Amino acid sequence: MPVDSGAQTVGPFTELVELYGPRVWNTLAANVPRDLRWNWLLLMIAIALLIFVLRRGRGAKGADGRERSCGLLEYLLPRDIYTHVSARVDVWLWVFERALRPFWAVLLLGSLGPLIERTVIGTLTAGLGAGPAIEPNLAWMLLYSLVLLLGYDFTFFLLHYAEHRIPALWAIHQVHHSAEVLTPLTRYREHVLEGPLYASAAAIGYAVPAAAFAWLFAGSIKEITLFNIGIFALLFGFNGAFRHYHVQFRYPRWLEQWLQSPAMHHTHHSYLPQHRDTNLAVVTSIWDRMCGTLYVPAPDEYTPWGLGPERQAECRSFTQNIAAPFRDWQRMLRATARRATPQP
Ligand SMILES: [Zn+2]
Ligand SMILES: [Zn+2]
């Protein structure tokens, strides 16, 4: 029914958009720049420059996943990678996913996170009484930052492991793996249905330890921050951007047994059988080691990216990637129905 709003008569939908539009726009604007932090990208370029100098032009991979020697511009911004159809699809998938993200991010992080916190604090208080209200010091803050990091790394690992093992979930996650080249935007290459899964994992992985520490310290503990960002968010952010860059940033081999170097994600995106379903965590190697999915590659190991020759043609364009899970679920349902139908 039309509504009279003073000077002009507007319909109920216009009124709704006028009322909530600025809020939605503000949420979008607040979310988008966080994706590509210039300080992370600049740090990434600085490290890539250092690798270029130290390795005398070696250490970067081409669109075919092979390490090669090249000049500086080609080293930092290779033409075959940034003009690849996969890099263009990265941009569209990112734009599409980011436009929708604020809606479920607000819904899940705003409702599931607080619900988990209330439940954990309520359960601890019911079982053990009021928390001891410990006075936080630097050591406690370090421990808090580490527990948050391990908590989120673990829930991310669990979800990622499930996505690689359960066909119905792989149908969604394959969109990330359909990337034939790696660019910093590939990090955000995901199906719109994957966002709510990761937001739920983030809410659980963050809220459970955060609530336990809030109970212990009567809500007064804070994370250690660097450049105004929590150490936890900083490590995830930096590692997330660099591991989808074609320049290999490796740690010493012994350290890669504990922390995932960005180059270890190059093997995660490879379709070779020995690389499949490996290096599933983001920051640490601990969970992968415990579950037998850790793979420390040899120097300059060949890592052809994507789904492999048999599947790639089905998941190349933007629309193919958006349709991919629905197409695969339909195939699974048909196969189940065929199996359930008695043969004459
Ligand atoms: Zn994966
Ligand atoms: Zn990835």
Confidence (pLDDT) at 37: 67
Cα 272 to middle of ligand 2, angstroms: 15
Question: Which ligand is in closest contact with the Cα of 281?
Answer: 1
Please compute the mean of the pLDDT values over residues 5-15 and round it to a whole number: 52
Cα 163 to middle of ligand 2, angstroms: 13
Confidence (pLDDT) at 17: 52
**How far apart are alpha carbons 226 and 233 in whole angstroms?**
10
Report whether pLDDT(148) > 60: yes
pLDDT interval class at 163 (50, 70, 90): very high
Report whether pLDDT(177) > 90: yes
Please compute the mean of the pLDDT values over residues 114-141 and round it to a whole number: 84
pLDDT, tens only, 102-115 = 777 777 767 787 88
Cα 265 to middle of ligand 2, angstroms: 6
Cα 54 to middle of ligand 1, angstroms: 31
Please list the alpha-helical segments (H only) found in the chain.
12-35, 38-54, 72-76, 79-82, 85-128, 138-165, 167-177, 194-216, 231-242, 253-256, 264-268, 286-290, 309-312, 318-340
b/e burial code for range 231-264 (CB count within 10 A of at least 16 → b): bbbbbbbbbbbbbbbbbbbbbeeeebeeebbbbb
Report whether pLDDT(152) > 90: no
Domain range summary for the chain, segments of one domain joined by +: 79-335
Please compute the mean of the pLDDT values over residues 152-173 and round it to a whole number: 95
Cα 189 to middle of ligand 2, angstroms: 8
Confidence (pLDDT) at 231: 66
More confident site: 202 or 299: 299
Question: Which ligand is in closest contact with the Cα of 194?
Answer: 1
Cβ neighbours for 150, distance < 8 A, ≥ 6 positions apart: 284, 286
Report whether pLDDT(158) > 80: yes
Report whether pLDDT(187) > 70: yes
Please compute the mean of the pLDDT values over residues 235-262 and round it to a whole number: 89
Report whether pLDDT(229) > 80: no
Q: pTM for the full model?
A: 0.83
Confidence (pLDDT) at 142: 84
Cα 3 to middle of ligand 2, angstroms: 49
Cα 9 to middle of ligand 1, angstroms: 52
Cα 38 to middle of ligand 2, angstroms: 20
More confident site: 80 or 192: 80
b/e burial code for range 56-80 (CB count within 10 A of at least 16 → b): eebbbbbbebebeeeeeebbbebee
Mean pLDDT over each residue of the chain, to the nearest integer:
85
pLDDT interval class at 15 (50, 70, 90): low
Confidence (pLDDT) at 174: 97
Please compute the mean of the pLDDT values over residues 230-239 and round it to a whole number: 69
Helix (H) or strand (E) holding 225: strand 225-226
Cα 145 to middle of ligand 1, angstroms: 25
What is residue 57's three-state secondary structure? coil
Please compute the mean of the pLDDT values over residues 293-304 and round it to a whole number: 97
**How far apart are alpha carbons 305 and 267 in whole angstroms?**
8
Cα 214 to middle of ligand 1, angstroms: 33
Cα 343 to middle of ligand 2, angstroms: 43
